[in-house]
Structure 1
Amino acid sequence: MEYKTDKLRPTQPFLVLETQDFKQEIYLNQGISHFYTFRLEKTKEITTVPDSCVDMLFEYGENGMTAYAIGSPIKALDVEWQGKKEYFGVRFMPGSMPVGLNVTLRDLVDCRFYLEDILLDNNGTFVSGMKKKKTFKDRINYFLEEYTKLEMRQEKPFGKMEILMAVKELAYNSGGLMRISEMADTVGYTERYINKIFIEQMGFSPKVFCKIIQFQRSLEFLNYGNVDNMTEAAVNLGYYDQPQFIRDFKTYCGMTPKRYLMLTKRIRYNSLVENVS
C-alpha cells in the first residue's frame, strides 16, 4: 500500500501498531471506507485519534459477540480494549452517517452505543447473523448484504442534511484545505448558516472537520509516503508552515509528527497491515 492523493483512507494507526494480525479491505463505496480485523491478546489502553468517522465494531470472545457503534473523539484519547478477543470493524467515511441508526453524528462524538440499542432493524437479523460469521470474508459479505437492505429503506436526505453532505464532500475532496468561505460560495449559503448546521448535526464546526481531514491526510502521508523532512511534509499537506503542522499533529495524535514517523519506521507500520483483496 502506498500514499495516494485521490481518496483518503482514514486510519487508527495505534490499532495497527498495538494489535495482532491486522488486516483490512479497502471498499470506498456506500459511505464505507474499509473493513478491518485484528486480535488482541491482553487488555490494554490504545490511543484513538480523531478521524470524524463512525465505526461499527463487532467484538468476538468466548462468551459470544458484542456489537457497537463508535464515534470519533476530537482529540487523542486513550481507550481500554479487552484482551482475548477478535475484532471485526467497519469504518465509514469521514462525516458519513451509517444508515439505520436512530442517533445523530453529534450523539456519537466520543461515544459508543450498543448496536442493538440504536439499530433500526425490525427483524433483528443483522446483529444476530453477524454472531454466526467466522471469517473476515464471510463477515464482510454478510454485513454488506444486510446493510444494503437498510439502505433500500432509507429516505433520501433533504434540506439541512443535503447541505451538510455537500459541505462534508467539499471538505473531504479538498483534503481539508478548502476555506469555509469557498464552501459557502459553492453551496450558496452563508458561512454562519453552514457553521450552525454543522455544530447542530455534527457537534463541532466545519473548520474542525477540515482540520481532522487534513490530520488524517498527514497520517496517511507519514505511514505510506516518502518523507524526507518535516518542512517538505508540511508543504505537501497544505499547512501554512512546519510549526503549524507540528502543533496540529500533536493536538490530534498526542505526539509530534517526527516522533510518530520514528515509531512507524521502528515498528515497520507497513509490514503490520495486510491488505486483503
Structure 2
Amino acid sequence: MSNRKKWCFQIPLQPEFKMKTAYYIEKREFDQKRNKSYLYYQFKCHSISSSMIVIPDGSIDILFTCIPQTPYGKICGSVLRSKEIQLTPGAEYFGVRFPLGRESLKWNCSMKDIVECEMPIKDILSLDDPAHQLAILPSFEGRIQRFQETIGTLFLNEDRYSPIVMNALYNIHLSKGNITMNDLAQRLGFSTRYVRKQLEQDIGISPKLFSQIARFQCSLSMLMNDNNYSIWDIIEESGYYDQAHLINEYKKFSYYSPRKLMDTITKGKALVM
C-alpha cells in the first residue's frame, strides 16, 4: 500500500455538540499537504444550559471560546469513557477535530499527556492565546481560513509523517476496528511488538483500545443514521459477536446501553435559546 494513500479517517461523532447547542455548523476537509481529514465546526451554547457529554472518539479537538472580551483556546484529547464537560452559557465556540497521532503535531509532548486531558493553548505554545484572532471574526468560513493560514501552522506538521503509524491507523479504520494485532503487523511487514510500540507512542493508547473506540464510533454512526438500521444490522456491520457484546462495549465507553445512550443524547434536542 502506498505510504501516501488517502487517509480514510472517519470523522468521529460528538452528538451532543449538534443536538444540545444552537446554530451548529460543520465542514469536513481533506488536507492534501498533510494527508489528513479535518472537521471544522461551530456552535453557540444555550443560555440556560452549558453542560454536555463527550464520548470516546480517538481524536483531538482544538476548541476556541469566541468571546471577544475573554477568548480562550484549549487542546482536548480523546476521553476513554463518557464525560460531562462545562461550557460557557451563551458563548460561541469554534473547533477543529483531527485524528490522534504525534506526527500531526508540532509541539514536543507525549500523546499520553493529551489523552483524557484539556490543556490551554498558551501553555503548549508558550505564547499568548491565539484565540482572539478567531473571536473577532464574524463568519465560520473566515475562522476556518484564519485557522489554516495562521494558527494551524503552529500546531499541525507535515514533516513528521510516520508511514507505519499512518498505514496502521488506515487499516484499523478500514476494518472498522475489527483487525487483530497479528493481522495488522502482517499487513505492515513488521513484528506485532514493534507495531504496538509505535502506535502506543504515537497515539497515546493501545492499538486494541483504539480499535474498540473506532468500532464503537462506527456503530454509533449507524445507530444515529436516518436509515433506521436494526440492532442486528449494526452488530453485523460493526463486527460485534452478538447483542451482549455490543451492549457491553457501549457500557464500557458510555456507561449506557445503546438505547439508553441515544435517549441521553436526544433528550436535550428540544432546548431553545
TM-score range, shorter chain: 0.7 to 0.9
1:102–1:120 contact (8 Å) kept in structure 2: no
Whether contact under 8 Å (2:53, 2:85) holds in the other structure is: yes
Give 1:166 deviation, angstroms.
2.2
Give 1:130's aligned residue. Answer: 134
Structure possessing the higher relative contact order (Cα contacts under 8 Å, 6 or more residues apart): 1
Which of 129, 145, 148 is the equivalent residue of 1:141? 145
d(CA) in 2 for partners of 1:155, 1:224: 37
Aligned ranges 1:1-277 → 2 under 5 Å = 8-29=10-31, 30=34, 31-40=36-45, 41-42=47-48, 44-61=50-67, 63-95=69-101, 98-119=104-125, 127-146=131-150, 149-150=153-154, 154-157=158-161, 161-262=162-263
- Specify the code of the residue in structure 2 equivalent to 1:36: Y
Deviations 1:131-165 (A, max 9, x none): 432211110111112256458975333xxx44222
Note if contact 2:43-2:92 (Cα within 8 Å) is conserved in structure 1: yes
Q: Distance in 2 between matches of 1:62 and 1:130?
A: 9
Distance 1:97 1:221, change over 3 A: farther
CA spacing shift, 1:260–1:215, aligned 2, 3 Å: same
**TM-score, normalization: structure 2?**
0.83
**More moved, 33-42 vs 195-204:** 195-204
- CA distance in 1: counterparts of 2:251 and 2:112, whole angstroms: 24
* TM-align CA RMSD: 2.9
In structure 2, relative to structure 1, the CA distance for the partners of 1:192 and 1:48 (3 Å cut) is same
Letter in 2 for 1:137: E
SS of 1:16's partner is helix
Alpha-carbon distance, 1:126 to partner: 5.2
Deviation at residue 63 of structure 1 after TM alignment: 2.8
Cα separation, partners in 2 of 1:169 and 1:7, compared to 1, 3 Å: closer
Q: Percent same amino acid among aligned pairs?
A: 24
Amino acid at match of 2:39: H
**1:127 shift after superposition:** 4.3
Deviations 1:156-181 (A, max 9, x none): 33xxx442222112112222122211
Residues 63, 76 of structure 2: 8 Å contact kept: yes
Q: Is the 8 A contact 1:72 1:109 kept in 2?
A: yes
Deviation at 1:99, TM superposition (A): 3.1
Native 8 Å contact 1:24 1:36 kept in 2? yes
Q: Residue 208 of structure 1 aligns to which amino acid in structure 2?
A: L
* Secondary structure of residue in 2 paired with 1:177: coil
TM-score normalised per structure 1 = 0.82
Contact 1:94 1:213 in 2 (8 A): no
Structure 2 gap ranges (5+) = 1-7
- Partner residue of 2:5? none
Unaligned runs of 5+ in 1: 1-5, 273-277
The verdict on how the C-alpha distance between 1:200 and 1:265 changes in structure 2, with shifts beyond 3 A counting, is closer
Deviations, residues 101-143 of structure 1 (Å, cap 9, x unaligned): 332322110111111221388xx79545324322111101111
Other structure's SS at 2:224 match? helix
> Matched residue of 2:86: which SS?
strand
Question: How many equivalent pairs are there?
Answer: 260
Q: Which residue pairs with 1:275 in the alignment?
A: none
